[in-house]
């Protein structure tokens, strides 16, 4: 009896030891197919995050960075891009000089580098240029109203092989949204300056300056190879070949509302956008989600697709579903509401605080 016991014990120990010694299988790359949700967080709490879910799921991993790295972002999430083997997240702290670009491994989300001031100050948009290069547009150090844009903006060029900022391309004040089209990057601004800059990604230098209108925000190229740009309450259709503005369309007629969060449809033949205003009586942002086609000759803004405004809007290129970010308040978790292209609601998924952008993969 005792012998048998020892035998069993021996086998158990042996198997246990073998198991312990066995080389661990490489960790599966978790963050492959799915949706990354950029949660801006509460500005003064610096608690932005990135959530992830697979399309077929209705629950999300709320804070991927914190789960994988044992620390959280200390700021709001302003932008996200993937290129090569890396993901880049823009983190904006409410205190000056404490902003970061967090660079993580694309699939595993383990931290690779954190880039901060003075290279990165008030980062607003990020875009992958090549597997080893990314652009981050920055306001630079900001001041106080009315001189908020106290310094010129710039585009930080990040070398992803050394994980360092290797160049700052001077830009207009309030440098913000970027769209890559061919070998060029179109850079807009939040300061109200009229110029849209065209940056040559081969030389990392500004090669043309286009006057579009106050605070141009490049949206996306369409199916016809035209670039759409928002300026003020209008959108313009730009021909990138000739730099000519082919059309200027005023969005909507409601004097209280303004358009925002344009998202191109998967076929490149139309855009969804939010048309909303801040209601001072209720203290709530009110409005709807609309659609226009690139062939439309006017955008009346009176037939909403979804009778609701969101803090972020996206369209999944794979399934064509509309994703809206729902923010009950900046002091509790937000939701992603999913809709069919006709505006029929499908479901909602709890994510981080103030979902404001989506990255579909």
Partner 1 sequence: MLLYTARRAGSPYHILYHILLALAISFSAFAQQDSVALEPVVVVGFAPERFMAGLKIQRVDSAALRQFRFQNIGDLLAFNTPLAFKNYGPGRLSTVSFRGTSAQHTAVLWNGLNINQPNLGQTDFSTLPVAGFDRLSVQYGSSASAVGTDAVGGSLLLESGGAQPEGVRLLLGRRQASFGNQQTQAGANYGAKFNDALHFSGKTLYYDGQMNNNYPHTERRGYYVEPSTAEQRGFVQDLVLTGKKSRQLSAHLWLTDNGSTLTPENPDARQLTRTQSRRAMIQYQTPTWTWRTAFTRDLIDFGAGDYSQLEHTATDRFLTRLEKEIAWSLSGGAKVNLRVGGEVAHYRTRVDGYAEPFITENRADFFALSRWQFGPRWLVSASVRQAFVTRFDPPLTPSLGAEYRLINRDKYLLTAKGSVSRSYRVPTLNERYWKTLGNPAIRPESGFNKELGVEAKWLPTDNQQITTSLTAYHNRVDDWTYWNPDRNYRVENLQLVVARGVEMQAQWRATFPVWQTGATLGYALNRSSQERVYNAYAVAIVGQQLVYVPVQQGTLSAYAQRGIFRFTAQMRAQTRSFTTFDNSNHLPGYALVNLLAEATGQRGRWQANLQAQASNIFDALYLNVGRNAMPGRSFSLNLLLTYNSESR
> Counting contacts by CB under 8 A, is residue 283 touching partner 1?
yes
Using CA atoms, how far apart are residues 79 and 90, in angstroms rounded to an integer?
5
> Counting contacts by CB under 8 A, is residue 307 touching partner 1?
no
- Contact window for partner 1 (CB under 8 A) among 157-165, 167-175, 292-300, 322-330: 322-330
Q: CB burial class (10 A; 0-12, 13-18, 19+) of residue 248?
A: middle
Shortest distance (Å) from residue 326 CB to partner 1: 9
Instruction: Please confirm whether the linkage preceding 94 is cis (ω < 30° from 0).
Output: no
Shortest distance (Å) from residue 95 CB to partner 1: 5
Shortest distance (Å) from residue 347 CB to partner 1: 16
> Counting contacts by CB under 8 A, is residue 330 touching partner 1?
yes
In angstroms, the Cα distances linking 42 to 46, 281, 308, 334 are 6, 22, 22, 11
> Counting contacts by CB under 8 A, is residue 332 touching partner 1?
yes
- The residue (of 94 and 204) whose beta carbon lies closer to partner 1 is 94
> Counting contacts by CB under 8 A, is residue 144 touching partner 1?
yes
Picking from 353, 267, 257, 277, the residue whose alpha carbon sits closest to that of residue 315 is 267
Among 162, 329, 344, 347, which residue sits at the site for partner 1 (rule: CB under 8 A)?
Answer: 329
Instruction: Please confirm whether the linkage preceding 319 is cis (ω < 30° from 0).
Output: no
Chain centroid offset of residue 63 CA: 15
> Counting contacts by CB under 8 A, is residue 98 touching partner 1?
yes
Picking from 182, 172, 94, the residue whose alpha carbon sits closest to that of residue 140 is 172
> Counting contacts by CB under 8 A, is residue 147 touching partner 1?
yes
- Please report, as residue ranges, which positions from 230 to 269 form the binding site for partner 1 (by CB under 8 A): none
> Counting contacts by CB under 8 A, is residue 44 touching partner 1?
yes
In the numeric block, the tokens 């000056």 are attached to 96
Picking from 202, 232, 233, 238, the residue whose alpha carbon sits closest to that of residue 220 is 238
Q: CB burial class (10 A; 0-12, 13-18, 19+) of residue 110?
A: exposed
- Contact window for partner 1 (CB under 8 A) among 3-11, 158-166, 317-325, 330-338: 330-338
- The residue (of 130 and 329) whose beta carbon lies closer to partner 1 is 329
Shortest distance (Å) from residue 331 CB to partner 1: 4
Binding site for partner 1 (CB under 8 A): 42, 44-47, 62, 69, 71-72, 74-75, 93-98, 111, 114, 116, 141-144, 147, 150-151, 278, 280, 282-284, 328-333, 352-353
């Amino acid at each position: 009896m005792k012998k048998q016991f020892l035998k069993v014990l021996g086998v158990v120990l042996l198997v246990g030891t073998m198991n312990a010694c066995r080389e661990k299988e490489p960790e599966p790359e978790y963050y492959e197919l799915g949706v990354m949700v950029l949660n801006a967080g509460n500005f003064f709490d610096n608690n932005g995050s990135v959530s992830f879910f697979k399309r077929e799921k209705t629950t999300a991993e709320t804070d991927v960075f914190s789960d994988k790295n044992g620390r959280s972002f200390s700021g709001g999430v302003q932008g996200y891009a993937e290129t090569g083997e890396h993901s880049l997240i823009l983190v904006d702290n409410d205190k000056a000089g404490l902003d970061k670009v967090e660079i993580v491994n694309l699939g595993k989300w383990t931290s690779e580098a954190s880039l901060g001031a003075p290279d990165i100050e008030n980062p607003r948009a990020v875009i992958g240029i090549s597997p080893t290069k990314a652009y981050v547009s920055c306001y630079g150090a900001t001041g106080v109203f009315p001189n908020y844009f106290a310094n010129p903006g710039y585009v930080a060029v990040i070398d992803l092989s050394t994980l360092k900022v290797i160049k700052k391309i001077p830009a207009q004040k309030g440098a913000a949204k970027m769209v890559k089209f061919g070998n060029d990057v179109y850079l807009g601004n939040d300061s109200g300056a009229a110029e849209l800059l065209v940056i040559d990604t081969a030389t990392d230098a500004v090669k043309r300056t286009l006057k579009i209108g106050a605070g141009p925000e490049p949206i996306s190229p369409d199916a016809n190879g035209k670039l759409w740009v928002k300026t003020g309450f209008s959108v313009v259709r730009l021909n990138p070949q000739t730099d000519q503005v082919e059309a200027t369309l005023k969005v909507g007629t409601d004097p209280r509302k303004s358009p925002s969060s344009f998202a191109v449809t998967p076929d490149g033949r139309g855009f969804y956008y939010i048309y909303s205003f801040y209601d001072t009586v209720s203290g709530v942002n009110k409005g709807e989600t609309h659609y226009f086609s690139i062939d439309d000759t006017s955008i009346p803004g009176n037939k909403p697709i979804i009778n609701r405004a969101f803090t972020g809007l996206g369209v999944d290129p794979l399934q064509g579903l509309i994703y809206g970010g729902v923010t009950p308040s900046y002091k509790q978790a937000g939701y992603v509401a999913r809709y069919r292209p006709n505006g029929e609601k499908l479901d909602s998924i709890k994510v981080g605080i103030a979902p404001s952008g989506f990255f579909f993969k």
